[in-house]
Amino acid sequence: MEIENIKINSYGNLKDKELELNKFNIIYGKNESGKSTLLNYIKNSFYGISKNKNGKDMSDYDKYLPWGENDFSGRLKYKLDNNNSYEIFRDFNKKNPIIYNSQKEDISEKFKIDKKTGNQFFYEQTKVDENTFMSTALSAQKEVVVDSSTQGILLQKVANLAESGAEDVSYKKAMSNINNRLLSEVGTSNSKERPINIAMDNVQKYTLDLTTKNSIKTNRYEIEEKINNYNEELEEENKKEELFNDISDLLINNKLEKEKIKIKNNVISENNEKIKLLDNKKDNLFNNIKNIDEIINEKNKINKKYIFILIILILLNILNFIFIKNIIINILIFLIIPIYLIILFSINNKNKKIIKAQIEKNNKIKSENDEIKKQMDILDGQIDILEKSTEETKNEIKNSEDKINEEFRMKKEEIIEKYESDFSDVYINNLFENNIDLLKNTNKRKINELEVQLHKIKLDKANIDRELEDILSLEEKLEIEKENLENLEKRADEFNLAKEILDEAYDEMKKNITPKFNQSLSKNIDKISNGKYKNIVINENITVELDDGRYVPAETLSVGTIEQIYLSLRLSILDEISKEKLPIILDEAFAYYDDSRLEAALDFLSKVDNQVILFTCTNREKEILEKNNIEFNYISL
């Protein structure tokens, strides 16, 4: 890929700056002219700007935020190896940029968004993250002092780059750090007074202390079981009490309703007694009337009898005169008739007085009889009222009995349904047939006994609980230490797993990647050094082959030579890490190169396929390129 154009609206001390780049570029500027700012602008255009200090005195955002400016933005145009062009516009106050394609269409949403770092467009296009980019494609300015410590630092970066692909990551140092953290944060079976050793000692101590107090704990479990049994039994008896009370209330209420019916039955009995008395009274009155009528009728019968005899005598005389014609009989009859008439007249006169007196008496009796009939009518009315009242009361009693029986049946069913989960239907039905008051009293006594027993055993439990406070504290401490030990063991496993992964990765790199690096590195150093160094081997140490065939450790070489190795290794790795030919961006990378080394390095860089962007504060690079007729783009800040 190549960066084609850089437009800076405002970024650090750079403002309204636009740069056109070619394949080989020299960016010249004196110190503090903005070279490092431009380099960071390129990096932050691709990966965004961080507001975190990351161990520095100031974050990149705070460092390059323009003073007194609202604008903090710019654009960068680049082309991938497939000739597709893109433009990045960044407002550095915002996390995500706007990405345009060659038709100036916004395609930002086509790339993944990371919550922490923002749009991942450049990583998706190159498969190179920011740290790798900084360790390979981009070499920031180094403040190097030529001394043994500086040489050692540079050599270590070369070794790190060969071992891990990152100049700040060393396999040996990483492994040492893991081991140190394992020892300090966890410990091992051979260590002493480390977290895992302390945790193991505590677990052993607390376990031993708890073993000696297991008997108390066992007693507590037994008491708790008894308490649970008492509570269950008490709960059952309380349910029985509630059931007994419900049944008792129903029976009492049913009894009260039946008492009401009994009162109504008493009213019926009283009415029947009254009716009976009235009937007797009515019979007596009726008998009185009957006697009076009989007397009158008897007297009338006597009068009628005498008249009837007279009529017979007359008829006999007439019959004799007509048919028999016996004079004697006629005479006798005629003699008898007057005599009978005299007697009848005498009797009649006598009876007249009697009848007159009797009439007066009869009138009185008749008057009394009418009064009796009135009284009898009154009695009949009273009897009718009592009989109607009795009939109505009977109907009321029947309705009440039906209602009481139905209500009793329903209430009984409700009670059975309410307690069916605790008691059987047979048990509940039997309770209605037993003496419920006796059952209630028995139940009450049992509840009182259970409550007394429960209170006693709770006192025993309270006494044991006081003894078990130390046990609970020990158990809590043991659980904490066990959990701590488990976490420490997990942490140790994590460290050991990290070591295994690191070993596997290192072995894989030495097996597959390092040989490639050795070959590529040797090829590059041969060209950069004009054939002075033909072969470099990087394993546990960095070894360089001299002209005479000897192999010497890299630390015995000059800083300039090590710089050449360092550049060669970065270029070798750059070819492996991405499908794109990333730009080589170097900031004051040749400060310790002599002219011959610099000329060889520039000649090598002019022939690589990557775009080259060199930042420098001298004219040496320009003069060498011009002398060797190497085409380049020169930009002065």
* DSSP letters spanning 534-599: -EEEESSSEEEE-TTS-EEEGGGS-HHHHHHHHHHHHHHHHHHH-SS---EEEESTTTT--HHHHH
Q: How many CB atoms lie within 10 A of CB 358?
A: 15
The pLDDT value given to residue 24: 96
Q: Distance from CA of residue 227 to its chain's centroid?
A: 33
Residue 298: band (very low, low, confident or very high) from pLDDT cuts 50, 70, 90? low
Q: Does the pLDDT at position 144 exceed 50?
A: no
Backbone angles phi, psi at 86, to 5 degrees: -140, 155
Mean pLDDT for 585-590 is 87
CB atoms within 10 A of CB 302: 11
Question: Hey, what are 107's tokens?
Answer: 């395609």
C-beta separation of 413 from 251 below 8 A: no
pLDDT at 126 exceeding the cut of 70: yes
Q: 46 or 398, which is more confident?
A: 46
Characterize the bridge pairing of strands 633-636 and 24-28.
parallel
Q: Which residues of 115-141 are buried (b: 16+ CB within 10 A; e: fewer)?
A: eeebbebbbebbebebebbbbbbbbeb
| Span 80-107, pLDDT tens digits | 999 999 999 999 999 999 999 999 999 9
pLDDT digits (tens, 9 = 90+) for 312-321: 766 766 666 6
Per-residue confidence (pLDDT) for residue 108, from 0 to 100: 95
Long-range pairs, 361-365, Cβ under 8 A, ≥24: 362/292, 362/295, 362/296, 365/292
Is residue 146 over pLDDT 50? no
pLDDT at residue 495 tops 70? yes
Rounded CA gap, 288 and 286, in Å?
A: 5
Could you please report the per-residue DSSP string of 20-46?
A: E--SEEEEE--TTSSHHHHHHHHHHHH
DSSP 361-395: HHHHHHHHHHHHHHHHHHHHHHHHHHHHHHHHHHH
Strand bridging mode 118-119 / 113-114: antiparallel
Show the tokens assigned to 53: 């200090």
Mean confidence (pLDDT) of the chain: 79
Q: Cα–Cα distance between 121 and 500 in angstroms, integer?
A: 33
Kindly tell me if the per-residue pLDDT of 360 is higher than 70. no
Per-domain residue ranges for the chain? 215-431
Q: Check: CB of residue 322 under 8 Å from CB of residue 333.
A: no
- Classify burial at 601, counting beta carbons within 10 Å of its beta carbon; exposed 0-12, middle 13-18, buried 19 or more: buried
Strand-strand pairing, 98-100 and 85-91: antiparallel
Could you give the C-alpha distances from 539 to 156, 164, 520, 576, in angstroms and in order?
Answer: 13, 12, 15, 18
The owner of tokens 């009869």 is 362
Which residue pairs, CB below 8 angstroms and at least 24 apart, start in 227-236? Answer: 227/454, 227/457, 227/458, 227/461, 230/450, 230/453, 230/454, 230/457, 231/454, 233/450, 234/447, 234/450, 234/451, 234/454, 236/422
- Euclidean distance between CA atoms 51 and 73, whole angstroms: 15
Q: What are 534-582's pLDDT values in tens digits?
A: 777 766 567 777 777 788 777 777 776 777 776 777 777 777 667 889 9
Name the pLDDT band for 112 (thresholds 50, 70, 90).
very high
Which is more confidently placed, 249 or 265? 249
Alpha carbon separation from 384 to 272, 275, 278, 396, 527 (Å, rounded): 11, 9, 11, 18, 146
Q: Is residue 33 packed enough to be buried (19+ CB in 10 Å), middle (13-18) or exposed (0-12)?
A: middle
Q: How far apart are CA 430 and CA 84, in angstroms?
A: 96
Residue 278's CB is within 10 A of a number of other CB atoms, namely 18
Residue 416 has pLDDT above 70, yes or no: yes
Least trusted range by pLDDT, from 165-169, 296-300, 502-506 = 165-169
Integer Cα distance of 557 and 532 in angstroms? 12
pTM as predicted: 0.49
> What is the residue whose two structure tokens read 């192999």?
551
Alpha-carbon dihedral angle through residues 225, 231, 237, 238, given to the nearest 10 degrees: -170
Q: How many CA atoms lie within 13 A of 626 on its CB side?
A: 7
pLDDT digits (tens, 9 = 90+) for 188-224: 878 888 888 888 888 888 888 777 676 676 777 788 8
Compute the average pLDDT of residues 381-396.
74
Q: At what angle do helices 171-181 and 148-164 cross, to 10 degrees?
A: 90
Query: What's the whole-number mean pLDDT along residues 329-346?
Result: 65
Q: Residue 575 — φ and ψ, nearest 5°? A: -70, -20
Residue 585 or residue 353, greater confidence: 585
